[in-house]
């Protein structure tokens, strides 16, 4: 691929840093959950991960727009990435967010399901970004 310009490279670096911010906390989730910190975990997710996921989408769409036609939203890997992103946003809002104010069995179960789905979304998203199927 040819040179795409400084703006594209800045977006790319920001996109990668935002992905680290969005998914880095996932690695402490199991320990916090085992420690019974359900509400703390849900707050961490909604204060750091959820906003980072939103910024991740903005930067990703910016990268697609700046790619000089090399990357199109219709490309399989971009389309699937958007679907994975949307699923993670819905999971964050409807499974993880309700756990902020409670640590009962229902909230813990919802949080565990949300964490598992988010971990799976991370793996699928990484696969799509690294191997770019259909590109």
The predicted structure's pLDDT at residue 73: 63
- Name residues of the chain where pLDDT drops below 50: 1-2
Report how far residue 78's alpha carbon sits from residue 80's, in angstroms, rounded to the nearest whole number. 5
The residue whose two tokens read 């919802």 is: 110
Q: What is the pLDDT of residue 1?
A: 47
């Amino acid at each position: 691929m040819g040179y795409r310009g400084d703006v594209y490279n800045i977006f790319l670096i920001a996109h990668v840093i935002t992905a680290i911010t969005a998914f880095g906390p996932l690695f402490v989730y199991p320990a916090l959950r085992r420690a019974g910190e359900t509400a703390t975990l849900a707050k961490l997710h909604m204060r750091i991960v959820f906003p980072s996921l939103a910024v991740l989408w903005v930067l990703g769409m910016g990268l697609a727009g700046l790619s000089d036609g090399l990357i199109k939203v219709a490309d399989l890997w971009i389309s699937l990435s958007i679907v994975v992103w949307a699923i993670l946003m819905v999971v964050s809002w409807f499974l993880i967010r309700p756990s902020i104010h409670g640590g009962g069995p229902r909230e813990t179960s919802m949080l565990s399901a949300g964490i598992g789905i988010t971990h799976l979304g991370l793996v699928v998203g990484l696969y799509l970004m690294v191997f770019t199927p259909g590109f």
